Structures are given as C-alpha cells and as structure tokens.
Chain A
Amino acid sequence: MSHWPKPLLNLTKLLLPTLFPSWRFFEEIGPSPRIEYRANSDAPWQPITVLPERLGPVAMFRRLFFSPAWNEHLFLVSIATRLAVEPMLHDVNEIAARLTRMLDPTGAETYQFRILFVAREDGDIGQFVFYESTERALKTVA
C-alpha cells in the first residue's frame, strides 16, 4: 500500500478499525489523561473539565439524550491519550481550538495548556505532566 496516495492511505487507516473493530473495551485501566489550562502565564492551572459533585436522576436522564459537553470531554480524553502514543499536530490544534473557543469571551490575551496523566503506581495514585504547550496568543489560533 506504500504507493497509494497519502490521503487515501490515511482514510483507509481510519476506516479499517470501524469495519473490523477490536472490541477490547477497558482491557486495562492505564494512565488517565487530564487537560489543564491557564489564561495568561501567571494564572494558576485549571482543569478543562470540572466534574459536578453529584448528578441527580433528572440530569442523568437528560444526559442520556443530550450530553454534548461530556462527549466533547471524552473526545479530548481520547486525543490526549492518542498524543501520548502517536503525537499529531492535528490533536494539539484540536485542543487549542476548543480552548480558544472557551477562553475567547474572557478577555485573556494568551493561554497555555498541559496534559497530565493520573496513574496508579505501587498502589498509590499519582500524576505526572506529559506535555506542556508554549504560551499561545488567543487571537492567532484558528
């Protein structure tokens, strides 16, 4: 397949796992990513997703039908995990674009984000920083 045009090869690589899925759901519980950001370099780091302390039955029922923010969170988790395995500029830009959209109304001039992984080691849960972006100007990111 090395002589195939690159976009076609890319599409084939993306399509094949949907036609022949591996179905190895939750095979192991590995390090789990968290994305944090800060608006302007002197601000404290904040998680991009803040969990509610609890969800009532009505909220849970509603989220069965409509849960765009949570599904975006799951998407960001998957691309953060993917970045650790196969770094792609696409995924860095994807996180940046979503942060830009989130921060745009706040008036911040720059932002930065980082990816941490939370993992169990020797029985204890710890975390380490895997990736830290450079400081980016909000207006220049598409």
Chain B
Amino acid sequence: MSFEVALRLVEIGVSLALIQRAFEHIGRETALFLPQGLLALVLLSGFASGPAIWGLWLLNLWQLYRFQGAYNGGADKLAMLCLTCLAVAHAAPTPFWSEMALAYLAVQLVLSYFISGWVKLGNPDWRSGAALRDVFAFSAYPVAGNLRAIADRQTLTFTASWAVIAFEIAFPLALLHPMFLTGALIIAAGFHLSNAIFLGLNRFFWIWLSAYPALIWFQGRIVG
C-alpha cells in the first residue's frame, strides 16, 4: 500500500469514526460536536483535508478541556493521536517527516496491543482468569444483566484470558509478513467487535479499524 493511499484511508476512517461520535452527541453537547461532524464531512470529501484536520484537532483539544480528559477513554485518545499524526503528515516540510508521522501512528497501534498484553501477563489475576471473571462479575462494563453469568463459566474466562494475552503479546510478530498482518488485523477487528458487543465499547471498534491502513503501509515500508 502506498503512503498516499494509506494516508487517505486513515483520513476516511477517522472522519467516519468522528461522524459516528458526533452523531451520538447531537442533542447533548451539540455546540461541541456539530462542528466536528461538519468538519469530518469535509475531511471525508477529500477537499481541504489539511484545514479540516487542523480544525478537528482543535475541536478535539477543546473537548479534552471541556471534559477534563477523554470522554470515551482510549477511543478518544486514539482519535486525537490519529488527528495529530494526520495533521503533522500534512504540515510536514518533507515527505520523510510525513512518513514519520504515519509511522508513529503505526508504532503506537502495535504498542496498544503489546503493552496491553504485557501488563495483563504480569498480573496473576489475568493469568488465572480471575480478572476477566471480575470484568463480568461486577465491573461497570457488561451491557446487559444476563452477561454477568459469564463470570461463572471459569473454563471460558480462563481460556479467553490466555487467548487475549497471547494475541496481544504476539501482535508485533505480525509485522514480519503481510499475510501474518492480515490475519492479525482480522483477529484484532473481531476482538474489538466482541468488546463492542459485550462491553459496549463501540467507539474503540471504529477508531482502531480506521488506523489499520497506517499499519499495513508501515509493514510494507519496513519489511516488504
């Protein structure tokens, strides 16, 4: 995948994710999110991408200030990171620095899986399956009451815990070959989809997928 195609695909993905987010806030914090939706539409159209990205970056900074942090945790943090990397890629004085901006996004994406797996591996409660049991037993995340019963299925939570840890820890190995990366991204998308279904983390699904083209380009750039 060429740099230009990857950059444009990330722009399209981020703009769709931001439109989805803006749509959820209409009627609640309209003044803050309606301009975001409109600017994301401009970015989606492909005209005036640079100014649209900088406008979205400023709006997202304003949102960070308004909520004194990310409204939706990691999903909004990755959205801001994507916007920052896109903004730098557009404003960079040379192609080298544009590539560095997209490469930074790709590296952060790899780290988002690897570090997340690494810290779980270091926690005995994750290794025994108890942590995932507690996610379903009493955390505020399961989206429906009947999902609490998953906490009682110890074999399932133990197996799922190790599957998540193993996948996240091994994720950097996907950079070794395009086929590995394709497989890893399909599994990762399924993982985010399951988080969206069971834990209601829908915004994570959209924003993580929108950054994948940066990783596909990065893999080809460093290995391919």
Contact = CB atoms under 8 A, between A and B. Distances in A.
Contact of A26 (B70, B135, B143): B135
A88 B115 contact: no
Which bracket fits the contact residues of B? 35 or more
B144 A18 contact: no
Which bracket fits the contact residues of A? 35 or more
Contact of A28 (B112, B125, B193): B125
6 contacts: A10-B65, A29-B139, A63-B200, A71-B200, A82-B69, A118-B138
Give chain B's interface secondary structure class.
helix
Nearest to A55: B144
Interface in B152-186: none
A116 B53 CA distance: 40
B203 interface: yes
A49 B144 CA distance: 11
Contacts of B72: 71, 74-75
Given A55-B144, A60-B197, A65-B202, A21 B138 contact: no
B125 A24 contact: no
B67 interface: yes
Contact of A18 (B77, B125, B140): B77
Given A14-B61, A54-B146, 6 more contacts: A21-B81, A27-B120, A32-B139, A52-B144, A74-B73, A78-B69
A23 B28 contact: no
B71 interface: yes
B59 interface: no
A59 to B, nearest CB: 9
Given A26-B116, A26-B120, A51-B145, A21 B73 contact: no
Residue of A11, A24, A29 contacting most chain B CB atoms (<10 Å): A29
Given A17-B77, A29-B131, A64-B196, A24 B203 contact: no
Interface in A52-85: 52-55, 60, 63-68, 70-75, 77-78, 82
Given A21-B74, A66-B24, A75-B67, A32 B143 contact: no
